[in-house]
C-alpha cells in the first residue's frame, strides 16, 4: 500500500468516525427532561378559591372541584403540548361542597362533601350523583384516601377549635371514627403497599404515620415529619413510597421519604397549594391546585404515583 493511499484511507476513516461521533454527541446533548419545574396547566381564575380535588380519571382527564364557583366539579383535558382545557363536569346537589376526589378501579368518582358531611359517588356512565357514605357527627370531611383493599380514610378537621378526627369507611359505605382529639387533620394518604396510612395536621404542621392491618385498623402511630412554618394540605405517595405534601402558604410541594427525610421542596408559582395528584400517560406528572390563583400547575417527577398502576 502506497503512502498516498494510506493517507486517503486514514482521512476517510477519520471523517466517518467524526460523522458518527457528531451524531452521538448530538444525542448526548439532547436536553434532558426537566423534573420538578412547575408550569401552568389551567390559568388564573378558571377555578374558584375553593379549588381542590384533584384526581386523574381513567379517561385520561384531570378532575378538580370549584370550576368557576364552589359546588361544582371541572374536567380538564389536554392538548399535544400538555396545555389544559377546563369545562364543567357536574354540579353537585344543593348544599354540597366538594373537596378531595378519588377514583376506584371501576372508574367511579368519590368526592368528600364537607358541607354535607358525607362522601358522594359519581357514576362515570351518566354522571349521576349518589351518597356513598354519611359521617354522622363529622365536622367536614376534608380529604379522602382510597386503599388497595377498598377501604376509604377521611380527614375531618374542626377549624374553629384547631382539632380533628380520622374516619374509616368500609367498601360498602359504613363509616367509623378511628381517632379523635387530633390536630386539624387535613391531607390523608395510603402507602403504595397498602400497609401505611399518612395523616397530616395542617395548623400543627405534623405528618403522622400508622400501620394498617388487613381489616383497615390502625396502630403504631408515629411522627413522620414536622415543619417549622406554613400549613399542610393534601398529599399523595409515589410508587416508591415518597410522600408529596402541599405546603399551604409556602408555595411548595415537599417530597418526603418513607423514613421522614425531606428530599426536596418543589417551588410553585402560587403560594397556597391545596392538593396534589399524579397523572399523565406515564403517571409521572404531579398536578397541584392553587387557592390563591384559582389555577392548576404541574411538574414532572421521577416516579409515577401509587394509584396510576404504572
Residues 130-169: pLDDT tens digits?
A: 999 999 999 999 999 999 999 999 999 999 999 999 999 9
Only one residue has cell 350523583, namely 129
Domain boundaries, the chain: 39-300
Q: Is 309 exposed, middle or buried (0-12, 13-18, 19+ CB in 10 A)?
A: exposed
**Cβ partners under 8 Å of residue 208, min gap 6:** 198, 199, 200, 201, 221, 222, 223, 224
How far apart, in Å, do the first and last CA atoms of the chain sit? 60
pTM of the model: 0.89
Q: Is the dihedral of CA 157, 284, 92, 88 positive or negative?
A: positive
Q: Which of 300, 265, 295, 266 is nearest to 283 (CA)?
A: 300
DSSP code, position 305:
B
| More confident site: 9 or 131 | 131
Pick the CATH number of 39-300 from 3.40.50.2300, 3.40.50.1820, 2.120.10.30, 2.30.30.40: 2.120.10.30
Query: For 171-187, how does the pLDDT look when each residue is reduced to its tens digit (9 = 90+)?
Result: 999 999 999 999 999 99
Amino acid at each position: 500500500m502506497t503512502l498516498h493511499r494510506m493517507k486517503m484511507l486514514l482521512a476517510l476513516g477519520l471523517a466517518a468516525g467524526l460523522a458518527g461521533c457528531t451524531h452521538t454527541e448530538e444525542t448526548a446533548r439532547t436536553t434532558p427532561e426537566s423534573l420538578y419545574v412547575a408550569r401552568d396547566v389551567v390559568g388564573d381564575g378558571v377555578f374558584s378559591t375553593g379549588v381542590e380535588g384533584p384526581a386523574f380519571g381513567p379517561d385520561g382527564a384531570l378532575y378538580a372541584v370549584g370550576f368557576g364557583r364552589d359546588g361544582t366539579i371541572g374536567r380538564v383535558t389536554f392538548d399535544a403540548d400538555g396545555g389544559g382545557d377546563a369545562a364543567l363536569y357536574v354540579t353537585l346537589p344543593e348544599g354540597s361542597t366538594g373537596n378531595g376526589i378519588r377514583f376506584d378501579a371501576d372508574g367511579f368518582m368519590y368526592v368528600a362533601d364537607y358541607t354535607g358531611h358525607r362522601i358522594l359517588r359519581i357514576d362515570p356512565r351518566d354522571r349521576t350523583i349518589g351518597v356513598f357514605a354519611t359521617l354522622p357527627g363529622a365536622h367536614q370531611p376534608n380529604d379522602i384516601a382510597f386503599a388497595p383493599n377498598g377501604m376509604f380514610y377521611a380527614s375531618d378537621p374542626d377549624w374553629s377549635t384547631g382539632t380533628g378526627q380520622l374516619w374509616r369507611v368500609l367498601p360498602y359505605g359504613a363509616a367509623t371514627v378511628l381517632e379523635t382529639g387530633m390536630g386539624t387533620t387535613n391531607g390523608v394518604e395510603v402507602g403504595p403497599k397498602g400497609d401505611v396510612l399518612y395523616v397530616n395536621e395542617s395548623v400543627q404542621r405534623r405528618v403522622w404515620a400508622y400501620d394498617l392491618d388487613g381489616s383497615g385498623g390502625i396502630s403504631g402511630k408515629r411522627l413522620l415529619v414536622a415543619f417549622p412554618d406554613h400549613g399542610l394540605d393534601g398529599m399523595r405517595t409515589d410508587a416508591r413510597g415518597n410522600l408529596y405534601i402541599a405546603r399551604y402558604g409556602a408555595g411548595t410541594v415537599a417530597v418526603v421519604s418513607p423514613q421522614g427525610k425531606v428530599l426536596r421542596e418543589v417551588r410553585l408559582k402560587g403560594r397556597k397549594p391545596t392538593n396534589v395528584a399524579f397523572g399523565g400517560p406515564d403517571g409521572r406528572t404531579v398536578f397541584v391546585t392553587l387557592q390563591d390563583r384559582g389555577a392548576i400547575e404541574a411538574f414532572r417527577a421521577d416516579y409515577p404515583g401509587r394509584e396510576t398502576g404504572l
